[in-house]
Amino acid sequence: MSKEPRLVPEMLVFAKVVELRSFAAAARQLELTTSAVSRSVGRLEAHWGVQLLHRTTRSLSLTELGAEVYAACSQLSQTASDIHAIAGHYSGVPRGTVRLTAPTVFGEIWLTAQLPALRRQWPELEIAISLSDQMQDLAQQGLDLAIRLTRAHQLAPNMVARELCTVRYIAVASPAYLQGLRKQPDHPADLAPSQGVECITLGYGEFQKQLQWVRGPGAATKPAATDAVEVAIHTPIYIGSSTGIIHLALQHQGIGLVADFAARAALQSGALVQVLPQWSLTGNYAPRTAYAVYAPSRHLPLKVRALIDHLIEAGKHT
């Protein structure tokens, strides 16, 4: 009896190692140890008496024969994935682990708030979240999807993106801080340093000290918005986190520029109030959209589809 059928698991492991260009990344996605993955590839090489990979401490590459073997193993892996996805759809019950990455504050506040209802609906579903403000490579990290907080034109063209919700940036402050100002702000010009106002901003990338405003809630999303105002602000403190800005605003340190979802709880409790609610930030602080992003697939696993559908529905009520 041929031993080849017994080597099918090793072939699938080999395909994953090559796909992710890493033994460690393959091990994470397959829920194996790195040494187990290495031994699996070693068994293939020993069985055929050939070398499939050139290995160094920093990289790996395919031998000429390895490239041919990988092509066949990759096709085998895709077939197995298709069968698994089809069977999962017929079972009708999402199960297994979904691995995703999300921006830190968005993940801590918005995303985690959606998980209890998801788990009540699908108790066999498990969620593994990596929080990072750095762009993660889904294949390299063994992730099923990513939450991206961005604008449509900045999305990778080779990925599928599903819209979850709109994120707007707003100005907030404690009532005590506002009471201490010489004039209550009712126009963006009232935030100028000459008015004795101090602001707290994200302070990185696009989030600089020049603010652009348009009159009217939601006006920043309308291309024809008029009555635009630009004002330079004084920022003695800036911190790259909406959560950090809110903590400082609660301590009466200034007017904070934050993502709306991060400030919602403090606004509802009255600990903070929105400044200039009849104006909308635009320019560098224009609204972003939260997207669920994943690689195209003929058969999206039911566990991933269940999570995405749940987040889309949650976004409608945000």
pLDDT band at 104 (very low <50, low <70, confident <90, very high): very high
Both tokens of residue 220? 């920043």
- Which residue would you say has higher pLDDT here, 261 or 30? 261
pLDDT band at 82 (very low <50, low <70, confident <90, very high): low
Last residue of a domain, one of 70, 90, 110: 90
Do 15 and 58 belong together in one domain?
Answer: yes
pLDDT over 80 at 163, yes or no? yes
The domain spanning residue 234 has which CATH number? 3.40.190.290
pLDDT, residue 189, reads 95
Q: Where in the sequence is the domain holding 242, given as residue range(s)?
A: 169-286
Mean pLDDT value across the chain: 88
The three-state secondary structure class of 308 is helix
pLDDT band at 4 (very low <50, low <70, confident <90, very high): low
Q: Work out the average pLDDT over 36-62.
A: 88
pLDDT in tens, 8-24: 888 889 988 988 888 98
- Which residue would you say has higher pLDDT here, 83 or 268? 268
As beta bridge partners, residue 7 has none
Do 214 and 311 belong together in one domain?
Answer: no
Least confident piece of the model among 39-48, 124-133, 215-224: 215-224
pLDDT band at 122 (very low <50, low <70, confident <90, very high): very high
Nearest residue to 47 (alpha-carbon basis) of 99, 96, 78, 4: 4
Tell me what percent of the residues of the chain surpass a pLDDT of 70.
91
pLDDT, residue 279, reads 96
- Which residue would you say has higher pLDDT here, 86 or 294? 294
Q: How many domains does the chain have?
A: 3
pLDDT over 50 at 171, yes or no? yes
Helix ranges (DSSP H) in the chain? 8-20, 23-30, 34-48, 64-91, 104-106, 112-121, 138-141, 175-179, 242-250, 260-269, 302-315
Cα–Cα distances in angstroms (integers) from residue 315 to residues 53, 189, 192, in the given order: 45, 33, 35
pLDDT over 70 at 219, yes or no? no
Q: Which residue has the tokens 């999300």?
A: 102
- Distance of alpha carbon 271 from alpha carbon 172, whole angstroms: 10
Both tokens of residue 149? 């907080």
What's 279's DSSP letter? E
The domain spanning residue 133 has which CATH number? 3.40.190.10
Both tokens of residue 29? 């996605």
Q: Work out the average pLDDT over 37-52.
A: 90
pLDDT, residue 223, reads 47
Do 267 and 188 belong together in one domain?
Answer: yes
Asked if residues 29 and 137 have their Cβ atoms less than 8 Å apart, the reply is: no
Q: Work out the average pLDDT over 49-77.
A: 86
Do 199 and 52 belong together in one domain?
Answer: no
pLDDT band at 74 (very low <50, low <70, confident <90, very high): confident
- Distance of alpha carbon 213 from alpha carbon 170, whole angstroms: 11
pLDDT over 70 at 210, yes or no? yes
pLDDT, residue 245, reads 95
Backbone angles phi, psi at 144, to 5 degrees: -80, -35
Do 177 and 282 belong together in one domain?
Answer: yes
pLDDT over 80 at 199, yes or no? yes
> Residues, the chain, total?
318
Nearest residue to 142 (alpha-carbon basis) of 295, 309, 306: 295
Q: Work out the average pLDDT over 113-118.
A: 96
What residues contact residue 185 under an 8 Å CB cut-off, 6+ apart? 178, 191, 195, 197, 255, 275, 276
Do 191 and 46 belong together in one domain?
Answer: no
pLDDT, residue 204, reads 64
CA angle 70, 74, 80 (to 5 degrees): 145
Asked if residues 243 and 109 have their Cβ atoms less than 8 Å apart, the reply is: yes
Last residue of a domain, one of 90, 113, 132: 90
pLDDT in tens, 232-283: 999 998 888 999 999 999 999 999 999 999 999 999 999 999 999 999 999 8
The domain spanning residue 50 has which CATH number? 1.10.10.10
